[in-house]
Amino acid sequence: MTNAMQLDVLDQAGLDRMYEACIRLISEKGFKVDYEKGLKVLAEKGATVDFDTQMVRFSPELIESALKTAPREFTIKGQNPTHDFALPHPQNSFYTSTCVQTMQYRDPVTGNIIPVTEKNLGEWCQLAQVLPNIHKVAIQTPTDVIQEAADVHGFNVLLQNTAKPLMILAYCPESVELMFELLLAWAGSEENLRKRPQAIFYPTSLTPFGFKEMDIETMMHCCRYGVPQAVNSLAIAGATSPITIPGTAVLAAAEIIAMVVMCQLFKPGSEVIASMYATTMDVATGNALIGNAESMMTRSLAGQFMKKAFGLPIETFSFMTDSYVEDGQAVLEKSLMPAMLNLTGSDMQYGMGRLGSTTLASPVQMIIDNDLVSVIQRSCEQIEINDDTLAMDEMMETPALGNYVTLPHTFKHCRDNVRTKMFSPVPLDPWIEKGEPDLRDRAREQYQALKKEFTPVDLPASTIQDMNEVVKKADKYLTQVLA
């Protein structure tokens, strides 16, 4: 893979104005931290804290000094080095992640919408394990378990069914400690966990300008154990943020940078990714649109701003669609947005397998998305102009009305082109003979072939037992405290 092309959506004047606005929001307006423990720690680290209103402000000097300790380059680690990847992406391209927290699942055989269970979540993880363009696997919400502990159950399923890095969220403040207890049971020791954490945790803002106990505690735990985190804003343009693209972009960036600063105050050198997830309120219905043009533009602007202004690795929520089926709308939205966000500097792109905004997880769509990645990455590559690619010798030596089929140059480059299982052309007659299969049919057929490769992670029986004991503990404890 050659380096990807780059698209500037932000000139220097715009960058300067957004930077000034971002720092002003953090230092003058501030944000509300609804957690006494967090307020005390931030006050000790130099923040201006009003304990009555729970408002926190960072001076420009404190912001600058804290950000200096944030690593700009680091490696995300799987259960083994095979699945490690470096941030930022070394070719200016992108890695991918499956979709998160879904409670509904489109059955890959029947097409019916069914609840997420531990069984089909395990199969989902094993599918992601065998697809080469999936780099990170996100937690889902199994519904056939004690719901108060669904996040702990989901995390346990992921650890036992894929060796790729994981995207993890706690669902309540009471489960944060249990999630890390489970991670320690998997790792075997705190030392092992620090060497190879596998998980990336995702604390989020409570937009606008708010942070919950759960997310502050998640950040503190990640800093304590050396676990990477992707800090995330959930701005909805027109609802919880300004309706304009630059307004939402700078609000979201301010929330994200505030979280980066907090992490560095908790533990200098903590590995943090700036994660951009902005949606747009449909003023006709009140729904949050996720695959529309304005959300794409907002994520592009905010991501490029944070990369240029602060030099942080960037993740964007990109492989998203508002369609509930694996159709043309899904392919359109899952092509345009990732391509745009790749060109504007996103290092990781989230949403593989997602359908229906935040509603559905579809294995069939994940297979389609896996091939879309190859097409998008190839389409966004920088086109190299040199003696070999110009092929002047071949053109000068080939006679008029001749051909290039048998030339060594053609043989040398014939595999440069992308040829995918989902999008490769088939002649008309063979296609008719096969029953005129469409994209969904081809993906379902591919699912059945890939299913033969599914296998759980080979963990020691004693480790699995220790992990399952943590889950039992979570069932008992969380049922009591959340009743």
Q: Is residue 406 domain-resident?
A: no
Instruction: Find, among 378, 372, 236, the residue nearest to 294 by Cα.
Output: 236
Asked if 163 and 80 count as a contact pair (C-beta separation under 8 A), the reply is: yes
State pLDDT tens for residues 314-361. 999 999 999 999 999 999 999 999 999 999 999 999 999 999 988 899
Split at pLDDT 50, 70, 90, the class of 226 is: very high
Mean pLDDT, residues 239-258 taken together: 98
Instruction: Name the more confident of 421 and 164.
Output: 164
The CA distance from 456 to 333, in Å, is 32
Mean pLDDT, residues 230-242 taken together: 96
Q: What is the CATH number of the domain that holds 258?
A: 3.20.20.480
User: What contacts 24+ positions apart, CB below 8 Å, involve 414-417?
Assistant: 417/378
Q: Is residue 304 domain-resident?
A: yes
State pLDDT tens for residues 361-395. 999 999 999 999 999 999 999 999 999 999 999 99
Q: Is residue 91 domain-resident?
A: yes
Mean pLDDT, residues 14-30 taken together: 98
Residue 483 in this model has a pLDDT that exceeds 90: no
Q: What are phi and psi of 230, to 5 degrees?
A: -115, 105
Q: Is residue 392 domain-resident?
A: no
Instruction: Find, among 29, 33, 44, the residue nearest to 265 by Cα.
Output: 44
**Number of domains, the chain:** 1
The CA distance from 403 to 410, in Å, is 10
Amino acid at 433: E
Q: Is residue 63 domain-resident?
A: yes
Mean pLDDT, residues 16-31 taken together: 98
Sequence-distant (6+) residues with CB within 8 A of 60 are 23, 27
Split at pLDDT 50, 70, 90, the class of 186 is: very high
pLDDT value at residue 255: 98
State pLDDT tens for residues 275-302. 999 999 999 999 999 989 999 999 999 9
pTM over 0.75: yes
The CA distance from 155 to 162, in Å, is 11
Q: Is residue 389 domain-resident?
A: no
Split at pLDDT 50, 70, 90, the class of 113 is: very high
- Other Cβ atoms less than 10 A from the Cβ of 81: the count is 9
pLDDT value at residue 357: 85
The CA distance from 228 to 335, in Å, is 28
Residue 1 in this model has a pLDDT that exceeds 80: no
pLDDT value at residue 2: 62
The CA distance from 239 to 366, in Å, is 30
Amino acid at 20: E
Q: Is residue 157 domain-resident?
A: yes
Q: Is residue 46 domain-resident?
A: yes
Residue 364: domain span = 1-383+418-483
Average pLDDT over the chain reads: 96
Instruction: Find, among 418, 398, 373, 474, the residue nearest to 142 by Cα.
Output: 474
